Chains A and B, each alone.
Chain A
Amino acid sequence: MKPKRRVVPGTRARRTPTVRRIKPAIVPVPRARSMPSASPPQAGQASEAVRREARRIVAAHPSVGRPTAGHEVAALAAAAGDVTIELTVELGRGLTLATPLIAAAGAFGYGVEVADQVDLARLGCLVTRGTTLKPGAGHASPRMIEIPAGLLVGTGLQNPGIEVVLERYAPAWSGWPVPVIINLGGESIGEFVELARRIEGVPGVAGLELNLSCPNGARGRAAFGLDAGSASALVTAVRRATDLPLIAKLSPAASDVREIARAVEQAGADAISAVNTLPGLAVAPERDRPALAAGYGGICGPALRPVALRIVFEVAQVVDLPVIGIGGVASIDDVLDMLAVGASAVGVGVAALADPMLPVRLADELADACRAAGVGSALDLVGSALPVRPMSPSAQGAEYGRRAGRA
């Protein structure tokens, strides 16, 4: 059941991208919340140091467009330090992220492992490792293979089980300023519902993310996220069991991901994560078996990025829910790309393994990029690459898709 009116941030920007793009990008007047207290300084009044800083910001972010007069004024104001960039994102049901940059599932485990290395308070939110009803030992070794520009990972949902997770980690989470979202896995709707019931009311848990790449035992073990019926039934059932914000994490293996996205929106999901890993395979050096002990693995890292961008692009055109873009994000340009194709929040996964502070740094760089673009809120950058009229789905074949406007 869909609520009658849901105010979704970013929707307006998404629907009028061309209008927004041809407007001169000046310091946005209508946004009272992000306006500086004083009027922006004029170019002539700024000190040389401020102007140098402004040029640095504009030069550092060429991807936000060619500098214009508006850019310069905004950058000058930003360099003078009197523009607050609004970075908060609403994911629904009162879940507000302080920044759009989040730690994607798996990157930081349950958070406590990295609490002494990462300034977790400066993350938008932290999504935990996939957690199941019962403890899971996971797959045998090897579980992880490097591939060109990415990883092939098959850990097999190793986790201590929801009971232990809530007992051991939730007390710590409840003291943290960062919202913690538990990523849930299961092999039947009943398991997911049971998980949601156990989590309901536990302090420290800010939301649930449903892993739709899990096999549905009731439908011949085909993943929930491959079939709109399965996905809808799962989200509907979990929605009934919990009042927590509910995020559906889509599988990139679905033939038409738009159908799945529409189904989970109808079923009452509050937000959509796109995407999970894409199933792949590597061969052992001896060429007598697959390299991973589990056989298949999930492709993640920069190799997955074009797939993730495509899916966010398609999903953002058909749903009004906020979309969390996940897949190979490793730099500020990747973040801006994700926002441009319609993501309101951006998850960092594999890149955070080598550089745990990356998500926090990207949030700072995003604020800089907003200043350089002359916008007061990161949401103003959302959806700028979306077409005016819906484009044909990629399910029709990448080579045969028709450009928007010529349909």
Chain B
Amino acid sequence: MPARTRPTTPRTKTGGRSSGSSDSHQPPSGPRGPSVRSGRAELIELREILPGQWQASWHAPAIAAGARAGQYVHLRTLEAGGLPLRRPLPLVASDAAGGSVTVQVPGQPAAGPWLRALRVGDETDLLGPFGRPFEMDPRSRHLLLIADGGGIAGLRLLAEEAIGDGRSVVLLLGATSAARVHPSSLLPDEVEYVVATADGSLGRRGSVLDLVLDYEAWADQAFAAGSPAMLGALATLAEGRRARLGVATLGRKRGGGRVVPPGSPEARRRSWLQVVMPQAIGCAAGTCLGCVVMGATGVPQRVCREGPVFAAGELALDADGSARGRRSA
């Protein structure tokens, strides 16, 4: 793994007024990094890490320069059948110095033939980075990363950033069988990697949620990506965590009673659990409203702009995991 040189500690003081906090209620012409919408990028590496899962790296300095963990790029896969949308893919690695970005591309079901036909040196249409990133509280020492299936792709960069800051990271992964477990060689060495498989072929038999109970008291903050069912269950778990463990939340002493605007980096930083909403994203510009999920207060939230990372409390995540939110008239 190349060493990271970029400082990744959140720069805003926790107690202070965050000047850069953008809220979801301003006009959608809101601020956007200058590096957004890069366009054509040269493929520099493509490898199949698991059956049907590729990791692809592009030379895209404009994207790599401003990218943070939790953000995504929007890839145009020229699939047969004329499917019209780009694919939102979370950043797995981003090397600002070398100008490269890496994402994990699921080959299922339609992108496979297109991916196999790609060769190093080919140009593909890649835009980004989009969306709001994960926010780590500067005082969090113990980070719990929770993923199932392909969700691990969205957490790898966060693990790298956290370890660069000297935090300890435990990554919990749930998979169907040992053959679907993300290779540990692709993760930073310092990560404690714990696996549960549904058939018991590797690690503990069962779901990743069984592992979470062992670590929830240890963790200062948790970050999750994966299936809606897991995120829903985790959100329920996080709600009851304080009462169950009898712990105080961070930031209580300094400005604990202050109202934090929903959707702000501050709101995510204060939340014990941050989740990545898995959602098809049409335009990444906030115009098509196809990716919208309902917020906890009934305000529609665009995953492409207000997400993809949310504080768990900001969304109406159903306990059964449907993550559909309330239906409004």
Tell me whether A141 and B292 are in contact in the complex, defined as CB-CB below 8 angstroms, given that A107-B287, A117-B37, A146-B83 are known contacts. Answer: yes
Tell me whether A354 and B86 are in contact in the complex, defined as CB-CB below 8 angstroms, given that A117-B37, A138-B289, A158-B289 are known contacts. Answer: yes
**CA–CA, A139 and B37, complex, Å:** 29
**CA–CA, A141 and B324, complex, Å:** 5
> Which B181-223 residues have a C-beta within 8 angstroms of A?
none
* Contact status A141-B84, CB under 8 Å: no
* Contact status A108-B327, CB under 8 Å: no
* Contact status B294-A137, CB under 8 Å: yes
* Contact status A137-B300, CB under 8 Å: yes
**CA–CA, A351 and B82, complex, Å:** 10
Residues of the A chain whose Cβ atoms lie less than 8 Å from the Cβ of B329: 137
* Contact status B280-A144, CB under 8 Å: yes
Interface stretch (choices B27-35, B45-53, B230-238, B248-256): B27-35
> Which B304-329 residues have a C-beta within 8 angstroms of A?
323-329
- Nearest CB in chain A to that of B27: its residue: A168
Within 8 Å by CB of B300, from A107, A115, A138, A148, lies A138
Residues of the A chain whose Cβ atoms lie less than 8 Å from the Cβ of B300: 137-138, 158
**CA–CA, A145 and B287, complex, Å:** 16
* Contact status B285-A112, CB under 8 Å: no
**CA–CA, A302 and B80, complex, Å:** 13
A143: Cβ under 8 A from any B Cβ: yes
B112: Cβ under 8 A from any A Cβ: no
* Contact status A113-B287, CB under 8 Å: yes
* Contact status B279-A150, CB under 8 Å: no
* Contact status A302-B84, CB under 8 Å: yes
> Which A349-378 residues have a C-beta within 8 angstroms of B?
350-351, 353-356
Within 8 Å by CB of B285, from A109, A143, A172, A293, lies A109
* Contact status B84-A158, CB under 8 Å: no
**CA–CA, A385 and B300, complex, Å:** 45
* Contact status A350-B298, CB under 8 Å: no
B293: Cβ under 8 A from any A Cβ: yes
Residues of the B chain whose Cβ atoms lie less than 8 Å from the Cβ of A142: 279-280, 324
> Which A79-135 residues have a C-beta within 8 angstroms of B?
106-110, 112-117, 129
Distance between B218 CB and nearest chain A CB, rounded to angstroms = 33
**CA–CA, A117 and B36, complex, Å:** 9
- State the main secondary structure of chain A at its contact with B: loop
Distance between B110 CB and nearest chain A CB, rounded to angstroms = 9
Residues of the B chain whose Cβ atoms lie less than 8 Å from the Cβ of A172: 29
B145: Cβ under 8 A from any A Cβ: no
* Contact status A137-B82, CB under 8 Å: no
Tell me whether A353 and B82 are in contact in the complex, defined as CB-CB below 8 angstroms, given that A117-B37, A140-B328, A155-B289 are known contacts. Answer: no
A245: Cβ under 8 A from any B Cβ: no
- Nearest CB in chain B to that of A144: its residue: B290
**CA–CA, A91 and B324, complex, Å:** 42
* Contact status A144-B84, CB under 8 Å: no
**CA–CA, A206 and B301, complex, Å:** 30
Residues of the A chain whose Cβ atoms lie less than 8 Å from the Cβ of B294: 137, 140-141
| Residue among A169, A302, A353 with the highest chain B CB neighbour number at 10 A | A353
Q: Which 7 A-B pairs have the closest CB atoms?
A: A144-B290, A109-B287, A137-B328, A112-B29, A353-B283, A140-B327, A149-B82
20 further A-B pairs in the complex, CB-CB below 8 A; given A137-B298, A350-B84: A106-B288, A137-B329, A139-B327, A139-B328, A141-B323, A141-B325, A144-B280, A145-B280, A146-B280, A148-B81, A151-B84, A151-B85, A151-B282, A151-B290, A153-B290, A172-B29, A301-B84, A330-B82, A353-B287, A355-B76
Q: List 8 interface pairs A-B (beta carbons < 8 Å), by A numbering.
A: A112-B27, A117-B285, A140-B327, A141-B291, A151-B84, A151-B282, A153-B290, A353-B282
Q: Which residues of B contact A (CB under 8 A)?
A: 27-29, 32, 37, 76, 81-86, 279-280, 282-283, 285-294, 298-300, 323-329
Q: Which residues of A contact B (CB under 8 A)?
A: 106-110, 112-117, 129, 137-146, 148-151, 153, 155, 158, 168-169, 172, 293, 301-302, 330, 350-351, 353-356
